[in-house]
Amino acid sequence: MVSRVIPVESFDLVVFGGTGDLARRKILPGLYRRFLAGQVPDDARIFGAARAEMDDAGFRQFVAEAIAEFGGSASRAAEDVARFLNRLHYVAIDAKGDSGWADLAKAMRPGVVRAFYFSVAPALFGDLAERLHRHGIASPESRIVVEKPFGRDLESARALNATLAEHFTEHQIYRIDHYLGKETVQNLMAVRFANILFEPLWNARHVDHVQITVAETVGVGGRGSYYDKSGAMRDMVQNHLMQLLCLIAMEPPYRFDPDAVRDEKLKVIHALEPVGPDDIVRGQYRGAGKGTRGSYCDDAENPESRTESYIALRVNIANWRWKGTPFYLRTGKKLRARASEIAIVFKEVPHSIFGDEEGWRENVLSIRLQPNEGMTLSVMIKEPGPGGMRLTEVPLDMSFAEALGEDGADIPDAYERLIMDVIRGNQTLFMRGDEVEAAWAWTDPIIAGWEARTDKPRGYDPGSSGPEDALMLLHRDGRRWREIRE
Ligand code: NDP
Ligand code: BG6
């Protein structure tokens, strides 16, 4: 299958923090891949902006190196890279000062889409927003893209929303949660709402429970100072896992339209019940020393740290569709495999006409986010051959990479897809301000619960499946976690 490429209008995109880690690893290589796909018009321009003094040539060299290192399977042909680099420029700008702004204002063209990617620390968002206005650079149609973390609690998220709202309206603000840009995450909506098959079963009458797992093999080394103030709850659950949960649990929106989708997600967040301490397991990897087998406290350079590098929760949704069907969420660093999966575990058949069949398993719809993006529906069939009616479980397997006719190389990275949505002016896959605030309103009391105590997170071995206690979270409900494997 050849993927359809939808052309976009011409644009001027300014990446504030254009020399930073996120720009180098994700944004700029992502733009290059979209360029190769024909989505960056000939006259589109991309500006890097940061304090460091640099000319266009220096920035182009920086981007060429970023493409070489992080371009994935994209062509490295010199002429392709050179054609892309021609679209790049650099402006030295201090978000907190006044130098560089007049140059940027002069460089902006009228009549094309203007987008400003704030790939800088959130403390600078207000400065950037204010100066974009003061220097007449932001027009009513301009868009700004802001990165996580979007606050660290409800109060700071509200303050950040208020700061941005001083200069931009909600329809101009694109809050990135890169999980929403993942191919499989969007496929979740297609599977749910473009097929008649699943919707009648998609409720507490037929679904026993849901498991959402985002397991990583990496530790926090290199970004320990950020992570130690955050932990898995703030870093992953409040945003990425929450978004996944919403997409599974939400009612069908009346249209695939930004506010229709976000209204439905918001209702799910409002319906989340508070989570008590018995329904939470926090963990911290504890090995010897630094490196692959090392310990969290060493990586975070804080020997007394009580921050969790792993968390598992049992979450209930108080509405008609889901009452009685728990959602089990878990995410952690330095686990046995990099594997992210949503598993919809269906209930048993009401009565087995085959008697107590040993091989019987419940049907599971497994949606693999990464790696090996795809979906598997496990169904029971008769074991082939003579010997009576013995049942066996077989997977109905669909790999998205195979379905796309490539080895996965054509699946766009989340960032490239989201940036193109910004240019197209489509906010469906971006978080709205009220959504972010509602997510913090649910998260804050959970964090306050453990901050009021003095216990440390449970230890787990690097390379394991997480702390033993997390197993109990399901065992006590007569359930078990699915294996974490690639
Ligand atoms: P870096 O520290 O690597 O880069 C920061 C960038 O901002 C640099 O280009 C820096 O250049 C520029 N900068 C710093 N101060 C100013 C200033 N006063 N005026 C203008 N530019 C400034 O950060 P990251 O790229 O890692 O992160 C950027 C944002 O993205 C952060 O909010 C982070 O939380 C978020 N994020 C990052 C992820 C990642 O994987 N890296 C993942 C998810 C979110 P200079 O010093 O020359 O000014
Ligand atoms: C980021 C978190 O938002 O997502 C990181 O800050 C995490 O801690 C990353 O490693 C995971 O993203 P992905 O796309 O690799 O699953």
Cα 127 to averaged position of ligand 1 atoms, centre (Å): 14
Lowest mean pLDDT among 11-20, 237-246, 383-392: 383-392
> Relative to the CA of 20, which ligand 1 atom is closest?
4
Q: Is the dihedral of CA 195, 376, 244, 416 positive or negative?
A: negative
Mean pLDDT to the nearest integer, 414-432: 95
Is 133 among the residues known to form the active site?
A: no
Ligand 2 pocket check: which of 146, 240, 307 to mutate, most ligand atoms within 8 Å of Cβ? 240
Nearest ligand for residue 22 CA:
1
pTM: 0.94
Lowest mean pLDDT among 175-179, 294-298, 403-407, 447-451: 403-407
Instruction: Identify the H or E element spanning 143.
Output: strand 143-146
Residue nearest to atom 4 of ligand 2 (CA): 236
Question: Residues 167, 240, 351, 475: which is the catalytic one?
Answer: 240
> Relative to the CA of 52, which ligand 1 atom is closest?
47
Degrees, nearest 5: CA angle 470-474-477: 145
Q: Report the C-alpha dihedral over residues 160, 90, 36, 112, rounded to 10 degrees.
A: 70
Percent of all residues in the chain with a pLDDT value above 70, rounded to a whole number: 95
Predicted confidence (pLDDT) per residue in 308-335, tens digit: 999 999 999 999 999 999 999 999 999 9
Q: What pLDDT, on a 0 to 100 scale, did the predictor assign at position 76?
A: 84
Would the CB of 216 count as within 6 Å of ligand 2? yes
Predicted confidence (pLDDT) per residue in 8-34, tens digit: 789 999 999 999 999 999 999 999 999
- Token pair 């630094």: residue: 290
Cis preceding linkage at 149, omega within 30: yes
Predicted confidence (pLDDT) per residue in 30-66, tens digit: 999 999 999 999 999 999 999 999 999 999 999 999 9
Would the CB of 119 count as within 6 Å of ligand 1? yes
Cα 50 to averaged position of ligand 2 atoms, centre (Å): 24
CA 176, CA 406: separation in Å to the nearest integer? 28
Residue nearest to atom 42 of ligand 1 (CA): 22
For the record, the structure tokens of 191 come out as: 């599977």
Q: What pLDDT, on a 0 to 100 scale, did the predictor assign at position 401?
A: 72
Centroid of chain to Cα 51: 29
Q: What pLDDT, on a 0 to 100 scale, did the predictor assign at position 2?
A: 45
Nearest ligand for residue 121 CA:
1
**Strands ordered across the beta sheet of 364-370:** 391-399, 374-382, 364-370, 339-346, 207-215, 327-332, 310-315, 280-285, 458-460
Q: What pLDDT, on a 0 to 100 scale, did the predictor assign at position 341?
A: 96
CA 334, CA 284: separation in Å to the nearest integer? 9
CA 149, CA 92: separation in Å to the nearest integer? 25
Q: What pLDDT, on a 0 to 100 scale, did the predictor assign at position 408?
A: 53
Q: How many CA atoms lie within 13 A of 173 on its CB side?
A: 23
β-pairing, 339-346 vs 364-370, is antiparallel
Would the CB of 341 count as within 6 Å of ligand 2? no
Would the CB of 483 count as within 6 Å of ligand 1? no
CA 475, CA 458: separation in Å to the nearest integer? 17
Check whether 1 has a pLDDT greater than 50: no
Q: Label residue 291 left, alpha or beta by phi (over 0 means left) and psi (-120 to 50 means alpha).
A: left
Would the CB of 176 count as within 6 Å of ligand 1? no
Degrees, nearest 5: CA angle 376-381-386: 145
Residue nearest to atom 21 of ligand 1 (CA): 50
Residue nearest to atom 5 of ligand 1 (CA): 20
Would the CB of 50 count as within 6 Å of ligand 1? yes
Q: Show the beta-strand stretches assigned E in 297-358.
A: 310-315, 327-332, 339-346
Residue 105 or 2, more confident: 105
Q: What pLDDT, on a 0 to 100 scale, did the predictor assign at position 8?
A: 76
Alpha helices for 41-165 (secondary structure H): 56-70, 78-85, 101-107, 125-134, 154-165
> Relative to the CA of 227, which ligand 2 atom is closest?
8
Task: Mention every residue, 6+ apart, whose C-beta is less than 8 A from residue 304.
Answer: 297
> Residue 77 — very low, low, confident or very high, per pLDDT cuts 50/70/90?
confident
Q: Determine contact, residues 123/160, Cβ cutoff 8 Å.
A: no
Residue 312 DSSP SS3: strand
Q: What is the mean pLDDT of the chain?
A: 93
CA 151, CA 435: separation in Å to the nearest integer? 13
CA 314, CA 243: separation in Å to the nearest integer? 16
Mean pLDDT to the nearest integer, 472-481: 96
Cα 151 to averaged position of ligand 2 atoms, centre (Å): 17
β-pairing, 364-370 vs 327-332, is unpaired
Predicted confidence (pLDDT) per residue in 81-139, tens digit: 999 999 999 999 999 999 999 999 999 999 999 999 999 999 999 999 999 999 999 99
Instruction: Identify the H or E element spanning 378.
Output: strand 374-382
Would the CB of 183 count as within 6 Å of ligand 2? no
β-pairing, 88-92 vs 11-16, is unpaired
